[in-house]
Amino acid sequence: MTAVQGNAVDIPTEDGTADAYLVHPVDGRPRPAVLVYQDAFGPRPHLWSMADRIAEAGYTVLVPHVFYRHGRAPLVELPDFIDPSVRPDLFEKLGPLIQSLTSEPAMRDAGAYLNWLADSPFAADGPVAVTGYCMGARLSLLTAGTYPDRVAAAAGFHGGWLATDAPDSPHLLAERITAELYFAHADGDSGMPEEQMRRLEDALTAAGVRHRCEVYPQAPHGFTQADTAAYQKEGDERHWTALLDLLDRTF
């Protein structure tokens, strides 16, 4: 296992400054870069530990705070163990933040994150990989379609609203995507019903995108997040195998 070093960094964007977490192997050599998009709960120790694990596999990893327009993280005080049934007020606070991050500003930000990585001495030249969780899965798919020449692989786990009827639905960018994709859906996820699963699969297949979309049986929405009540060990372990295999094939 490679020793890693993580630090807080600031990323200039067209709309301000995004606080972020950067982690990379301690030897400082340029490594393939991985952009990690947060879930709704945002940057916190568990998400940073996930980034550390990717870095330990030999990558330079950037985790931006996508809600930076509302202030630096944390915007909401989170318990060590997140159980929305105990804290229903969390989504009352987080909901407006999620709704405010529409596709256009999110993809302006994605360009800033990619540019920052391209200038980083810790990131190897060439395209990057992207992965995301919950709302971050949507951002991952959008980034692959918006910046096809800069994204070599993209993954998403327990994402929602990936193939809706909206004019900015991520699946509509399928014909632009050149990356290999892996998306794992939570079984019975209300944000990603079977209709959307089929629509996404059909769009990627029709566009000739290299991809694999899988449904994790009996896995709840949020199954990768060990600091939440939605965590499922089996689904999380399967997620790590799929993600690291994708990165290994890409780089």
What integer is the mean pLDDT of 150-158? 98
- Which among 121, 130, 99, 113 has a CA at the least distance from the CA of 34? 130
Q: Residue 167 pLDDT more than 90?
A: yes
Q: What is the pLDDT of residues 98-150, one digit of tens each?
A: 999 999 999 999 999 999 999 999 999 999 999 999 999 999 999 999 999 99
Pair 170, 142: CB distance under 8 Å? yes
133 three-class SS: strand
- Mean pLDDT for the chain overall: 97
Residue 108 identity (one-letter amino acid): R
Burial class (CB in 10 A: 0-12, 13-18, 19+), 3: exposed
Look at residue 194 and tell me whether its pLDDT is greater than 90.
Answer: yes
Q: What is the CATH number of the domain that holds 127?
A: 3.40.50.1820
How much is the pLDDT for 188?
85
Find the helix or strand (DSSP H, E) in which 55 lies: helix 45-56
pLDDT digits (tens, 9 = 90+) for 42-100: 999 999 999 999 999 999 999 999 999 999 999 999 999 999 888 888 989 999 999 99
pLDDT in the model for residue 213: 98
Contacts of 76 (CB under 8 A, 6+ apart): 41, 42, 90, 93, 94
Domain total of the chain:
1
| Cβ atoms of 18 and 68 closer than 8 Å | yes
* Helix, strand and coil percent figures for the chain, each rounded to 5: 35, 25, 40
Domain that residue 233 falls in: 4-250
What's the confidence (pLDDT) of residue 197?
98
